[in-house]
Amino acid sequence: MLDVAIIGGGPAALSAALNCRQRNKTVCVFGRSLDSSLLFTAEKVDNYLGMPDVNGEELLNHFYAHAVKKGVEFQECRVTQILNVGEHYMINAENNFIEAKAIILATGLSKSKGIAGEIDYLGKGVSYCATCDGMLYRNKKVVVVSENEEGEAEANFLADICKEVSYIPLYKNITFLKDNVKVINAAPKAVVGAEDKVAALETDRETVSCDGIFFAKNTMPPDSLLFGLKTDGKNIEVDRRMATNLPRVYAAGDCTGAPYQIAKAVGEGLVAALSAVSDIDKMKNV
């Protein structure tokens, strides 16, 4: 079991990871590659103290190298769900399940836009993981809405067990889909329910009748990643310790709101790490 699992990959995540390791805690960063960070594409960063005229890629590589040197572990993956199982948390990282005593969310700005009804029907026909929940829809009709090519694998998996699979790509150039997957080129508008469960997906062209809807997103909305997490719009609510409303769950960086600055992210990552370490140590003394 990890002491701390960190979800993200930018400055806040790397700062939190480094400071957890400085205090001898086991830590792993779960996130996408460095080049997926908004900072990576910055042509020039001139407001980070002591490092003038550096570009985003160089700065991120400095942060990453420092974390690796101190023993931080990394797992490049998409986390689809975090479950509170009492004294610890269970992370679903592409169907690898990892336990951790504390969670630090450093997911950055959520670029994925939810649609009407999406969160309302989470667990009632809406899912973010086909391989987790797909067997619940054996011989039923489902829709996969995907922002990236990863959704194709989920649609192909569902095609072997479901009666009908419709696929809505929100990106260009489909790579491979099985013959029994129906492609619909449309923009999703709303999840439609009946009797407290999913009944259809409304798009700008048609309403698709279905029993379940799977969303494959580039970034997960925080409140769909961890049930019960308190948010204010897209921002995760935290106190001065960077603690959320959930026990031993903290947040840092852009996901907590403006200002969207590297120095703020690095500082919040430090505070979140110190809070997590302190609360984990208190668990040992109970």
**Beta-sheet pairing, 73-76 with 27-31:** parallel
Q: pTM for the whole thing?
A: 0.78
Mean pLDDT throughout 121-143?
Answer: 90
DSSP class per residue in 219-282: S--HHHHBTT--EETTEEP--TT-B-SSTTEEE-GGGG-S---HHHHHHHHHHHHHHHHHHHHH
CA atoms lying within 13 Å on the CB side of residue 40: 12
Residue 191: which H helix or E strand, with range? strand 188-194
In the chain the first and final C-alpha atoms are separated, in Å, by: 19
DSSP class per residue in 76-113: ES-EEEEEE-SSSEEEEETTEEEEEEEEEEE--S--PP
Residue 69: which H helix or E strand, with range? helix 56-69
More confident call, 260 vs 38: 260
- Res 111 pLDDT > 80: no
For residue 75, give the 3-state DSSP assignment: strand
192, 207 Cβ separation under 8 angstroms: yes
**pLDDT tens column, 230-268:** 999 889 999 999 999 999 999 999 999 999 899 999 999
- Res 93 pLDDT > 70: yes
% of the chain exceeding 90 in pLDDT? 70
Banded pLDDT at 33 (limits 50, 70, 90):
confident
37, 108 Cβ separation under 8 angstroms: yes
Residue 27: which H helix or E strand, with range? strand 27-31
Name the CA radius of gyration of the chain, rounded. 20
**pLDDT tens column, 187-234:** 999 999 988 999 999 999 999 999 999 998 877 778 778 989 999 988
**pLDDT tens column, 168-182:** 999 999 999 999 999
Q: What sign for the dihedral angle of Cα 144, 146, 152, 157?
A: negative
pLDDT of residue 34: 76
